[in-house]
Structure 1
Amino acid sequence: MSTTSVDTPPLVLLSGLAADARIFAPQKISFPQMHCPGWLEPERSETINDYAGRLAETLDNDPCIIGGASFGGIVALHLAEHVDARAVILIGSIRAPSQLPMFARCARPLGFLIPFIPVRLLQVLTRPIATPFGKRHAPFVYGLACQFRDSNPVVFKWSLRRILDWSITPKVSCPVFQLHGDRDWTLPLRYTDPDEIVAGGGHVLSITHPAEVNSYIRQILNEVASTLSTAREHHGPQQ
């Protein structure tokens, strides 16, 4: 159960590449007020910042705590420039383009090949995994396969392209908190400098290490609530 203050701003978390709200199922149980917006279909050649601006228009105009896993964390950083964010929480994500792994930076010249990725075919190939047999014998892989199978190919290709050409670090005015696994091979720990490290944690921390992720989120929510409460005592209610 969540023990956060009633004064805590709403929590908005963005899922990662080829993922959806199911990746935060353990967090939804502990934080019923959590909102995981679906991915909008991107416009042609839309930048991450422009996309974040459109996404902001779908959210309430109230103070909030935003965050995301993997690519969702990158978008959350840009989203913080468009909403009244009181904190950004990165879960298996990174703070700046300079923290992208070497293989992603080396792959940038190959970005023109992304439109030719046979996403539909790959989704068909995951069907044997996304079955009751897969769920029984490999539940973690089953969950990821189900999300990839249901993902929008247009969103998938746009997200992959934006990862490769990400070059501008968002100017975030609120605190940024970063949780990372020491066995994350997708965004390796050696390229980034998180505030807290999960021992044995891979890339999908929200599912594999929900207790650690929930504890970290709860700590941040309570810290933000305490800060807002202190501000009200000294300056009166914020507008």
Structure 2
Amino acid sequence: MRLSKVSFRYRRRERYVIEDLHTRLSPGEAIELTGVNGAGKSTLLRLLAGVTKPTSGTITDRPPVVAFAPDRFPVEQPFTVAGYLRRMSRVRGGARWEPWAERLRMTHLLDVRLGELSKGSAHKVGLAQALMAGPGLLILDEPFAGLDEDTRAVLPEILTEVTARGGIAVVSDHQGGLRDFPAIRHWSLSDGHLTDRPALLSPVPEAFAGPTATVEVTVPAGEMAAFLGRMRDEGYQARAVAHEEAT
């Protein structure tokens, strides 16, 4: 997925919220987006998701299945939680939401009307609708806000699963919910400009105490997720560093 000269402003003659952004996202990456309130984080996430169009520039090669959970879930809709998820399942071609309701510990909320949910419970509904379709691009805006401790603990596990199968995860987070996430790429937005810091590998496990080496391996794009999964299952630190297109 490539962003080329992407800029955005809400009205002509207003300042640009996002200005001249160039970057590329590769399969298997997890990205943490930070910045002060009003920096434009939510705007950037909507641009990535395709909800908002750039004022200028292009976003290309977006994965076919995109899921976006905004920071404020639209609770004004006249549904119960179960009713809403059933409708979203139909939109997503019959995707199953029930396993996510269980995993996010929200089965007790299924008969509650959306307008009666707390912020944390509404976030869970937003996460369930985003995860049910197995997205290739998962975008979460402040997903840890208001969540209970158990759900906060399980969310990094879910993001690991998304990236392990080749998905891209972009998460706006100012609460440090991803502080221990392995090999995460860091974006910081300030004055419309993006600072991009590459992912750093997590500390070497005790099993690898002593000298270590970094090896670059090239695999077919369709096999990358399975390869990374095997390496991680065996205890190695593995991440995607590039995605080459056929020429």
Larger radius of gyration: 2
More helix by share: 1
More strand by share: 2
TM-score with structure 1 setting the length:
0.30
TM-score with structure 2 setting the length:
0.30
